[in-house]
Amino acid sequence: HLAWKERLQEKYKNKNNNNDIITTGIHNPFQKMMIKSFYSKCTNHKHSFVQKTTLLTLLVLTTIPLEVISLASSPSTASSTKLISNPQKDASPPIKRVAIIGAGIAGLSLAHALENSEECASSYTNALRTKNQDGEEEESSSRYGIEATLFDSRKSLDYKSGSGIQLNGGMAILQKINPALQRKVANAALPLKAVRSRTKPWFNNDDSNNPFQTLLELNIEEAIKNADDDVKNGLIVNGETMAYAIMRGALQVSLCVCAWEKKVMEIFEHDIGV
- Whether residues 238 and 106 share a domain: the answer is yes
Contact 192, 140 (CB under 8 A): no
Same domain, 146 and 13: no
Torsion of CA 69, 73, 79, 80, to 10 degrees: -10
Q: What is the pLDDT of residue 242?
A: 85
DSSP annotation of 128 reads G
Residues 72 and 48 in one domain: yes
Task: Say whether both 125 and 225 belong to one domain.
Answer: yes
Alpha carbon 215 to its chain centroid, in Å, reads: 37
Question: Is residue 91 assigned to a domain?
Answer: no
Indicate whether 33 belongs to any domain: yes
Q: Where are the alpha helices (DSSP H) in 59-135?
A: 105-115, 118-125
Q: Is residue 176 in a domain?
A: yes
Asked if 8 and 112 sit in the same domain, the reply is no
Domain that holds residue 40: 2-82
Same domain, yes or no, for 239 and 116? yes
Domain boundary among 42, 59, 82: 82
Q: CA 7, CA 49: separation in Å to the nearest integer?
A: 12
d(CA 84, CA 56): 13
pLDDT of 239 reads 80
CA distance 144 to 139: 9
Q: Are residues 120 and 233 in the same domain?
A: yes
Give the residues across from 198 on adjacent strands. 214
The structure's pTM equals: 0.51
Q: One-letter amino acid identity for 119?
A: E
Whichever domain contains 101, its CATH number is 3.50.50.60
Note the pLDDT tens digit of each residue in 35-69.
Answer: 666 566 656 656 666 565 665 565 555 444 433 33
- Beta pairing, strands 130-131 & 137-138: antiparallel
My answer on whether 78 and 102 are in the same domain is: no
Whether 11 is covered by a domain: the verdict is: yes
What confidence score (pLDDT) does residue 156 get? Answer: 73
Domain assignment of residue 27, yes or no: yes
Domain count, the chain: 2
Q: Is the residue at 240 inside a domain?
A: yes
Is 92 contained in some domain?
A: no
Residue 263 lies in a domain: no
Describe the strand order of the beta sheet including 244-247 as a list of residue ranges.
Answer: 164-167, 244-247, 190-191
In the predicted model, residues of the chain with pLDDT beneath 70 are 1-94, 122-145, 204-208, 257-274
Of the candidates 170, 195, 138, 151, which has an alpha carbon nearest to the alpha carbon of residue 254?
A: 170
| Beta-carbon count within 10 A of 106 CB | 10
Q: Give the residues across from 20 on adjacent strands.
A: 72
Q: Are residues 70 and 144 in the same domain?
A: no
The answer to whether residues 18 and 102 belong to one domain is no
* Same domain, residue pair 104 and 49: no
Residues 148 and 73 in one domain: no
**pLDDT at position 81, please?**
38
